Structure 1
């Protein structure tokens, strides 16, 4: 069996940079798969998309132990655990990685494509606000070490000398304290011999049932003499005002800058020939209905993420559902796991009474109405307990959420069945109030598997760790379907060399 590793065929003498690129191009000409290294790989959203497009996933560099384990389970299940354990990119040199993986030959000979998304928390407006509050410093985000991790990505490019690169991040990276980091990265890549372009893409336009705006940057080595292009949208959607506003702010930032030579306008997704976006109901309706939490059958802490139950619907599946069940290499056998939900007894009644699209102010009003109704019930025609009584305070605590609707108006949100989901965040690891299930009869927040579906992870994809860790991994990931579209573009570009 022919190995895809590029470990032989190179002369023993010192090679020039051009020699490495020539040998990599010759390797791809011979029909072997491009080898990809995923930096800041998380559980593997980008890796999965690139695997689907025919790339070989050589390894991932990921500091989070649980996420690294998920990546290993799904992409290298037969390798020793330590070979794909967690690694700190700041402490791991490319040559060290090559040695730890047991690869033969020079570092610069091993990888054809580097992909990855440096941590975005330092760039997001939410992350900046949190740092300002914690540090009591309006410019604290500028000193966040995570904002410099893209430089390690560039260091890996310098050492591995790939033919192509793909980088992903939040739109706010285009204006980080007045600096367009994407432009700076392109400048650095240009100095290394790469042609670059970046744009903004929303995953909902590519068959993902989630509105998720991200910056994507592609770099091709100058020896790859083909035009850089981005995927053409396949779906159309009517985005809420906030999403249009976020994109417009980012675009205005770019246009105000005197130099933005690498930026490409996002592809048009308004064509009448495009099919409608995949909705939340399209994505989730065949998954198991979960209602045990509404009765005595539910016991907190007794279920594991690996436990399986049957699908709600085994026939009449739509295209998206079929894809999630039958993704090559991640098929299921009629049973699905990770159907864990948070146990939130105070809030189940509120969830059931919320209307689609309702947010925290509406939820808080519902809870107050429930509280008054329950006060009436416990009084049974007698005097209603006073505000200072223990009965009153206990009932209030058990019924009304304690958050301010002025400070946290968007903390809760009930999904609409007939629309795509809003953006899933890593904050899912702490709570799931941002994605309350659209089915009022289930009256709950989404399960781990439902979050994975909204992010376009197939049902056979396994998540290591407990529920909170799985939610965090999903929220941090690049949607695999979105990744596969970009990977397809890169595969086409590399095929032309």
Structure 2
């Protein structure tokens, strides 16, 4: 079944659908780095199909450039990534590009999650107007224009919980009314990624809609067994300290085991992006105190409990949970895009390593497979990971929709 991915980001949602056998005919995304990641993933799938993954591996080993990698890929494959902002001005051109890609064929599904900052708790807290005047409140209207244009049987719309209560519930009512006018029924659930095999507590609203004439209802999802805890998820990754990285062939500490098979991928032995950001001495001292407090007292160290010589913020009475460690024995708390700015909320549980998460560790917590490569800078990679839909969660949604249809 053919799928358009809107507000695609790095492609977590489309990755899950692709793993389930869907064909992604177009990704629409404005962020340059995310688009580079999408093109590289398209290159991966093309080379895998052609049994030429050695070329992809050469790129990961930095033996060839990205430009050299893309020379092996037909232009029409790379052109499936449409790098542009979705707006009233750009939509006609985007429609034309997608029509050129699909020709006479029909689109079966549209998937995607419009930017959620306007609905997020953090976004509202930072904005004196509570995001009421933010244009991102209305990005769902663009999504509905794509539904009207390409008339898919079903759509999947992902967002934060705040969309349910945004503007006292008016946003959700408007979405429902506009969808009805476009010929769609819809329903929604709050789903948690941990119930889909993801090693993370991450609640998101998943709206699923379908054409009125379709014999369909919101799917029932089976809760998966408890995902691997963080200790299990990280057990094959070599130890590094702040600012260090390890990558290359045969760098994993152990051979693949059953709990890691969905992450490591079959016969995959090329570790990439196990890169940790550098930290100043002050932060590293705080990191040790945070992990020690958890190990010894099983509680989160509050900012106003730090020794005075480590306190750098003038107001120490607010945002008391500025620092937080990941716990070995449980699942991770939610990975968000703020991880691109600092790792204070994602301190590694191993006090000897004394650092925040590496790119690969954050990607694993989001359930991205180890053969997935995030383009451009470390900061860009963290942002892409934090904004993504976990692929394992997306895959289960794709699987159940396919069965229902």
TM superposition shift of 1:179? 1.9
Give the match's secondary structure for 2:101: coil
CA deviations 1:15-55 (Å, max 9, x no partner) are xxxxxxxxxxxxxxxxxxx0011100000000001011111
1:337 to 272, 294, 305: 272
Distance change (3 Å), C-alpha of 1:490 and 1:76: farther
2:232 to 282, 293, 298: 282
TM superposition shift of 1:101? 7.0
* Structure 1 CA distance for aligned equivalents of residues 288 and 252 of structure 2: 20
Is 1:154 the equivalent of 2:114?
no
- Return the TM-score normalized by structure 1: 0.69
The match for 1:488 is 399
Distance change (3 Å), C-alpha of 1:401 and 1:453: farther
The 5-angstrom pairing of residues 116-155 of structure 1 reads: 116-132=112-128, 139-155=129-145
2:317 to 406, 421, 427: 406
* Structure 2 CA distance for aligned equivalents of residues 411 and 152 of structure 1: 36
Computed over aligned residues only, the root mean square deviation of the Cα atoms, in angstroms, reads 2.3
The match for 1:470 is 381
Distance change (3 Å), C-alpha of 1:448 and 1:316: closer
The match for 1:105 is 103
Is 1:323 the equivalent of 2:262?
yes
The match for 1:261 is none
Is 1:115 the equivalent of 2:111?
yes
Is contact 2:300–2:324 with CA below 8 Å preserved after alignment? yes
The match for 2:352 is 441
Distance change (3 Å), C-alpha of 1:231 and 1:95: farther
Is contact 1:197–1:218 with CA below 8 Å preserved after alignment? yes
* Structure 2 CA distance for aligned equivalents of residues 99 and 315 of structure 1: 44
* Structure 2 CA distance for aligned equivalents of residues 412 and 358 of structure 1: 12
The match for 2:83 is 86
* Structure 1 CA distance for aligned equivalents of residues 98 and 164 of structure 2: 35
* Structure 2 CA distance for aligned equivalents of residues 406 and 85 of structure 1: 46
CA deviations 1:425-472 (Å, max 9, x no partner) are 111111111110111111110001100000000000010110000000
TM superposition shift of 1:125? 1.4
Give the match's secondary structure for 1:111: coil
The 5-angstrom pairing of residues 410-421 of structure 1 reads: 410-421=321-332
TM superposition shift of 1:174? 0.5
Could you list the runs of 5+ residues in structure 2 that have no partner in the other structure? 45-72
Q: In the comparison of the two structures, how many residue pairs are matched?
A: 368
Is contact 1:94–1:156 with CA below 8 Å preserved after alignment? no
Is contact 1:360–1:408 with CA below 8 Å preserved after alignment? no
Could you list the runs of 5+ residues in structure 1 that have no partner in the other structure? 1-33, 133-138, 235-274, 369-395
CA deviations 1:73-114 (Å, max 9, x no partner) are 1135524345524111113326644436732536xx431100
Q: Which has the larger radius of gyration?
A: 1
* Structure 2 CA distance for aligned equivalents of residues 51 and 440 of structure 1: 38
Is contact 2:30–2:83 with CA below 8 Å preserved after alignment? yes
- Return the TM-score normalized by structure 2: 0.84
The 5-angstrom pairing of residues 11-410 of structure 1 reads: 34-76=1-43, 78-80=73-75, 81=78, 83-90=80-87, 91-93=89-91, 96-99=94-97, 102-103=100-101, 105=103, 109-132=105-128, 139-234=129-224, 275-291=225-241, 293=242, 307-308=247-248, 310-315=250-255, 317-319=257-259, 321-326=260-265, 332=268, 334-346=269-281, 347-354=283-290, 355-356=293-294, 358-359=299-300, 361=302, 365-368=305-308, 396=309, 399-402=310-313, 404-410=315-321
* Structure 1 CA distance for aligned equivalents of residues 189 and 151 of structure 2: 23
* Structure 2 CA distance for aligned equivalents of residues 180 and 76 of structure 1: 42
* Structure 2 CA distance for aligned equivalents of residues 149 and 461 of structure 1: 28
* Structure 2 CA distance for aligned equivalents of residues 104 and 172 of structure 1: 35
* Structure 2 CA distance for aligned equivalents of residues 279 and 360 of structure 1: 22
The match for 1:454 is 365
* Structure 2 CA distance for aligned equivalents of residues 83 and 39 of structure 1: 12
